[in-house]
Amino acid sequence: MTKQTLMTPGPVPLPPEVLDVLALPMEHHRTPEFEALFGRVLENLKKVFETSERVFVQTSTGSGGMESALVNCLSPGDTVIAIVSGKFGERWADMAEVFGAKVIRHEVPWGKVVQVADIEKLLKANPEAVAVITQACETSTAVLHPIRELAQVTKSHKAVLMVDAITALGALQMPMDGYGIDVLIGGSQKAFMLPTGLSFISFSKKAWALTETSKCPKFYFDIREERKANEKGESLFSTAVTHIRALDRVLSIFLTKGMHKVHERIQALSKATILAASEMGLKILSEVPSPSVTAILMPDGIDSAKVRSEMEKQSNVIVMGGQDQLKGKIIRIGHMGAISDEDMAVTFKAFAKALNSLKPETVSDAQLQKALSVIESTLKSTPAVLSDGPTSSQAHL
């Protein structure tokens, strides 16, 4: 079988440096070496979060991080304003209801950004609201919401701002302290270039105050207990040694090269994707596209589920389709992880081939050549951020 070209917004292709660390022999977490590593990871995560608060590592998927945010801050009966602009917004609103919150759903048309003034109105009308919850990037629509502006609004209200930045943190600047975000959540299988299995979370002082009175029952995600354990250099439950060692490697690469370099590469992949799609006559769904993932609208009469399937069958290139109301309408291409320039070219060749096999002459040879050319020119000045090991494409060999 040919190499799989993984272009989804999580899981993402892992660099060889990470794969090497995943294959290291197991070691115990109660040794001076590992304790030093764990301490370094927690400190380095603070640099990615751009916060002076502690950052916590939980053994869970990103959804576990979203649950942790809610159960640590809320009490049953609390009012929560949920920005619902796609699948993940729906999930978080559902979750808040399960834990007893009175949820005010602010529905945003899929593909659009939230209007900050609408949230300000809701906060004024519901001054008792304890939290505003939102995605930074709503993965299902590839939209980037105005987190900085939302935080400016929540600052002067009782409510904390909780941000699911699972498809944003590490991919673009999301300075927790600088913006005034109260709860910030990330996940390992996105910009952190790791396997699924860790969520990251941090709480502002305003959010810590809520944890003192929160009445939601919690044990596995109890952040105050996790903090006590971290203060002793331990994790609350079994330590995910393999993941944490790989995270240490990734953070070391990121911080040595500079987070701005990581962001620039992802931004360049996003730009190249949008320009290449445009050369092929295709439009973008998102009102404000997130650098981490791009949602490309299909030409009339083409079902994106079939495009996705043909790309996989014909070329072993994996992209995502649309979900629910966007089913059949979009192809989503991720920009996080160890994506080489060649991966991008392979993806667009496969994309054009799939489109043409479903509807002949959708993309002309000339259009494809222009798309490939714009990819090459856009990416050449911003190489992938990896250490000096083999190139990312070798990770697949």
Interaction site with a copy of itself (CB under 8 A): 3-4, 6, 8, 10-14, 19-20, 22-31, 59-64, 67, 94-95, 98-100, 187, 189, 195-197, 216-221, 237-243, 312, 318, 337, 395-396
Q: What are the helix (H) ranges across 7-61?
A: 16-22, 32-49
Q: Which C-beta is closer to a copy of itself: that of 341 or that of 343?
A: 343
At its nearest, how many Å lie between a copy of itself and the CB of residue 292?
Answer: 15
At its nearest, how many Å lie between a copy of itself and the CB of residue 367?
Answer: 27
Indicate the residue type of 310.
E
Composition of the chain by helix, strand, coil, percent to 5: 45, 15, 40
Q: Which C-beta is closer to a copy of itself: that of 138 or that of 279?
A: 138
At its nearest, how many Å lie between a copy of itself and the CB of residue 18?
Answer: 9
Q: Which C-beta is closer to a copy of itself: that of 16 or that of 289?
A: 16
Which among 55, 47, 59 is positioned nearest to 243, based on CA atoms? 59
Q: DSSP letters of 229-280? A: HHHTT--SS---HHHHHHHHHHHHHHHHH-HHHHHHHHHHHHHHHHHHHHHT
At its nearest, how many Å lie between a copy of itself and the CB of residue 120?
Answer: 29
Q: Which C-beta is closer to a copy of itself: that of 21 or that of 150?
A: 21
At its nearest, how many Å lie between a copy of itself and the CB of residue 205?
Answer: 25
Q: Which C-beta is closer to a copy of itself: that of 156 or that of 238?
A: 238
Rounded to whole angstroms, the Cα distance separating 223 from 159 reads 19
Judge whether 57 and 251 are in contact, CB under 8 Å. Answer: no
What 3-state class would DSSP assign to 226?
Answer: helix
Q: Which C-beta is closer to a copy of itself: that of 116 or that of 229?
A: 229
Which among 208, 187, 217 is positioned nearest to 76, based on CA atoms? 217
At its nearest, how many Å lie between a copy of itself and the CB of residue 30?
Answer: 8
Judge whether 313 and 161 are in contact, CB under 8 Å. Answer: no
CA dihedral 65→70→71→75, nearest 10 degrees, is 180
The CA angle 189-85-199, to the nearest 5 degrees, is 25
- Tokens encoding 327: 């089913």
Q: Which C-beta is closer to a copy of itself: that of 8 or that of 141?
A: 8
At its nearest, how many Å lie between a copy of itself and the CB of residue 238?
Answer: 4
